[in-house]
Amino acid sequence: MNFDLSEEQRMWQKTVHDFIAAEVRPHAYEVEETGELHWDAIRKMGPLGLLGLNVPEEYGGANVDAISAAIAIEEVGWGCGSTALTLAAHNGLGVTPLVQFGDAELKKKWLPRVTSGKHKLSALVMTEPQAGSDLQGGIACRAEKSGNEWVLNGAKMWCTNASIAEYIIVVVRTGPTGGSRSLSQILVPTDTPGLHIAPPEKKMGLNGSPAHAISFDHARVPLGNLVGEEGRGLQQTLSTLDGGRIAIGAISLGLAEAALEASLKYAKERKAFGHPIADFQAIQWKLADAAMEIELARNMIQRAAWLKEEGRPYSVEASMAKLYASEMAERVCYNAIQIHGGYGYSREYPVERMYRDARLMTIGEGTSEIQRMILARSLLGG
């Protein structure tokens, strides 16, 4: 057993941390208030490798190992939740299906574009107004073949990055029957006529990361825009989501670390009854619990990432890590506000933003309930 990061991973962590501390974190407040990402920083992420974490070098990516990818997303989460969600949706959802299942032509056309930082990013949408957790039964958005084109019709919901993406990979129904082999992934460039992207949703937090309702009205794309195999869309999406869950866990971890850092600083500064509040056991225990739970979550996330890197099954571990880290982050951020007292409720301090950001993590890419269902299924069989 060896819990140390490799030399390469350690250098990567330091580089990403320094980058985020200098270029992303100072803008987190403004990103949330204005609803606009800090594009200066995103442009610089291309050469650093943050926009092509699992993309092979020949397509402009960094192709880092799974642990390095988790470390990077954790660091971005530490700096800014919105930026982290957009990066996780781009790397984990928008890019991964193309890397794993796309043919060489699609890869060559799109990957260098979205990993460079010079253009826009990418997105994946499965969710619909009437279908979230239940993809197999619920997806109504459909694509039909007409000549050498797919024609898409229907509505999608909660597409993170839609307005800042070069393309959206859409999970649609391509088979008339409803079974598990009736869905496919189709790449739709965002300038496709018939694709309508609604204004960003007004959200509780993560407001710098735009999520949109989108709709298709006879939107036509070449048949070659099918990603992977026709009828394998559900399986491809579920396999993408396993990796995505590590990323959501990593954002949660980063948010919790930032909240603990803010809490430690505040607890040492703030005085009550003649003492820094850090002298009170009630505050100390909150800090101690936070540190312990963060340590545990990091271990779970890095182990799931390690299994992934080793090419071994990791769905269960990824689910556990996502479930634990996201619920942990909410607790730690909740207590961070408590430690800050009234100021914790003020936008002058960052912890209320972290709390709002953390809240999504128990919902996106599989709710806590769905994660528990996955775990129970693996325990009970069936």
Partner 1 sequence: MKIIACIKQVPDSEAKVKAENGQVTYGDAPLVINPFDEYAVEGALQQKEASGGTVTALCVGPESAKEALKHALAMGADEAILVSDAALENVDSLGAARVLAAAILKIGDADMVMFGRQTLDNGAGVTAPQTARVLGWPMLGLAGQIKVEGGSVIVERVLEEGRQIVKANLPAALSVVQSIGEPRYPSFMGIRKAAKAAIPVWSLADLAMAAPAALVTRAATMNPPARETVCEFITGESPEAIAETLAEKILAEKVL
Quote the least distance from Cβ 56 to partner 1, whole Å: 12
Instruction: Single out the residue of 26, 35, 132, 231 in contact with ligand FAD (rule: CB under 6 A).
Output: 132
| Amino acid, res. 241 | L
- Told to check if 155 binds ligand FAD by CB under 6 A, we report no
Nearer to ligand FAD, 174 or 207 (CB): 207
Q: Is 364 a residue that touches ligand FAD (CB under 6 A)?
A: yes
The CB-of-126 to ligand FAD minimum distance in angstroms stands at: 4
Candidates 127, 122, 128; CA nearest to 106 is 122
Q: Binder to partner 1 among 24, 37, 42, 62 (CB under 8 A)?
A: 62
Distance CA 68, CA 75 (A): 11
One of 54, 68, 115, 160 touching ligand FAD (CB under 6 A): 160
Instruction: Pick one of partner 1, ligand FAD, none as the site partner of residue 8 (Cβ within 5 to 8 A by kind).
Output: partner 1
Q: Is 33 in the site for ligand FAD (CB under 6 A)?
A: no
Closest residue by Cα to residue 73 from 45, 39, 103: 45
Q: Which is nearer to ligand FAD, 160 or 315 (CB)?
A: 160
In the list ligand FAD, partner 1, none, the entry touching 206 (Cβ below 5 to 8 angstroms by class) is ligand FAD
Using rule CB under 8 A, residue 49 touches partner 1: yes
Gap between the Cα atoms of 145 and 155, Å rounded: 18
- Write the CB contacts of 355 (distance below 8 Å, at least 6 apart in sequence): 205, 259, 330, 333, 334, 336, 337
Residue 342, judged by CB atoms within 10 A of its CB (0-12, 13-18, 19+), counts as exposed
Distance CA 235, CA 232 (A): 5
Contact between 369 and partner 1 by CB under 8 A: the answer reads no
Judge whether 365 counts as a catalytic residue: yes
Size of the site for partner 1 (CB under 8 A): 16
Give the residue at shortest CB distance from ligand FAD.
132
Query: What 3-state DSSP class applies to 169?
Result: strand
The residue behind tokens 């996502």 is 322
Report how far residue 37's alpha carbon sits from residue 18's, in angstroms, rounded to the nearest whole number: 19
Q: Which residues within the stretch 19-48 sit at the binding site for partner 1 (CB under 8 A)? A: 19, 44, 47-48
Partner touching 59 among partner 1, ligand FAD, none, CB below 5 to 8 Å by kind: none
Q: E strand or H helix at 73, and its extent? A: helix 66-79
Token reading at 316:
């269960």
Per the structure block, which two tokens stand in for 107? 């890869």
Tokens of 108: 């060559």
233 scored as a contact of partner 1 (CB under 8 A): no
Give helix 281-309 / helix 233-269 axis angle, nearest 10°.
Answer: 150
Q: Min. distance of Cβ 15 from partner 1 in angstroms?
A: 5
DSSP code at position 89: I
Distance CA 329, CA 216 (A): 36
**Residue 114 makes contact with partner 1 by CB under 8 A:** no
For the chain, give percent helix, strand, coil, nearest 5.
60, 15, 25
Q: Which of 24, 37, 64, 143 contacts partner 1 by CB under 8 A?
A: 64
> Rule CB under 6 A: is residue 369 a binding residue for ligand FAD?
yes
Asked if 127 touches ligand FAD (CB under 6 A), the answer is yes
Q: Which stretch binds partner 1 (CB under 8 A): 9-17, 31-39, 81-89, 139-147?
A: 9-17
**x/- track of binding to ligand FAD for residues 93-112 (CB under 6 A):** x-------------------
Q: How does DSSP assign 294-307, residue by residue?
A: HHHHHHHHHHHHHH
Amino acid identity at 5? L
Is residue 110 within the footprint of partner 1 (CB under 8 A)?
no
Residues in contact with ligand FAD by CB under 6 A are 89, 93, 123-127, 132-133, 158-160, 203, 206, 211, 360, 363-365, 367, 369-370, 373
Residues in contact with partner 1 by CB under 8 A are 6-8, 11-12, 15, 18-19, 44, 47-49, 57, 62, 64, 68
Active-site positions read 365
